[in-house]
Amino acid sequence: MTSNRRQTAVTPSLFEGMIVMLRGAGDYARRARPLAISKAEIVVLIDSAQSTIGLSRQAQVSLDSVNH
C-alpha cells in the first residue's frame, strides 16, 4: 500500500511543476514586450503538457490494474 501512495504522490507534483513553469512564462511575457513568447515556444509548452497528462493517465491506469 505504501508504494501505491508514493506513486500517486508523484502525479500532483508534475502538474504543480507545469503550473509553476506556465506562471513563469506568463511573468516573463508581462515583463518583456508583448508577444515575447513565440508560437514555437507555446507549441513546446502544449506538447509537454499533453505528454505529461498522458504519462499521468498511463500511471493511473497501471495503478488501477494493480489495485484490481
Would you state the pLDDT for residue 20?
78
Q: Helix 10-31 crosses helix 39-67 at what angle (to 10 degrees)?
A: 170
- Cα separation of 61 and 7, whole Å? 12
Would you state the pLDDT for residue 28?
67
Can you tell me the mean pLDDT for 36-65?
A: 79
Structural domain spans, the chain: 2-67
Give 1-47 pLDDT, tens digit per residue.
445 545 555 556 777 777 777 777 777 666 666 556 677 888 888 88
Would you state the pLDDT for residue 36?
60
Would you state the pLDDT for residue 1?
47
Would you state the pLDDT for residue 68?
64
